[in-house]
Amino acid sequence: MEKATFGAGCFWGVEAAFRELKGVLSTSVGFMGGTLKNPTYKDVCSHTTGHAEVVQVEYDPSQVTYEELLNTFWEIHDPTTLNRQGPDVGSQYRSAIFYHTPEQQAAVIASKEKLEASGKYKRPIVTEITPASEYYLAEDYHQQYLEKRGLASCHIA
């Protein structure tokens, strides 16, 4: 089992998209990339902690590759908008990949370069690529939020 951590806007829809992939064993939503220890959702929404809303994915690399996870990440959001996805605005909604290993870092850079070279976007990709830091689990009511409401197959993008 391996871990991958992605920020692509509001974590509810991002989590639902990753949960649909074969080989994804579990997901959770939380916060990464900030300065406050043990932030709450309210803390993160105050725009003072520096955290991003993220989904942490645990996956079986024999069933789904990290590159496939990256493809899903790029497909489910707009990586050219800084600190915003759709109607959600703020640094907590930034496009971000938090890599856990040097191999993930290399894969992220290669994937981003390939996407940039494809010409799919007219604007530059602003996705933050940084080492994974302390992960803080969001409150329970955020976990599998869309599934709990019968909306699990909704995609963002």
Neighbour count for residue 148 (Cβ, 10 Å): 12
For the chain, the distance separating the N- and C-terminal CA atoms, rounded to the nearest angstrom, is 28
In the sheet that holds 128-131, the strands lie side by side as: 128-131, 95-99, 2-8, 52-59, 24-32, 136-137
Report d(CA 74, CA 95) in Å as an integer: 9
Q: What is the DSSP letter of 59?
A: E
Active site residue 45: no
Looking at residue 57, the DSSP 8-state letter turns out to be: E
Q: Which amino acid is at 112?
A: K
Catalytic choice (4, 5, 8, 10): 10
Q: Is 11 helix (H, G, I), strand (E, B) or coil?
A: helix
Q: 86 near 156, Cβ under 8 Å?
A: yes
Residues designated as active site: 10
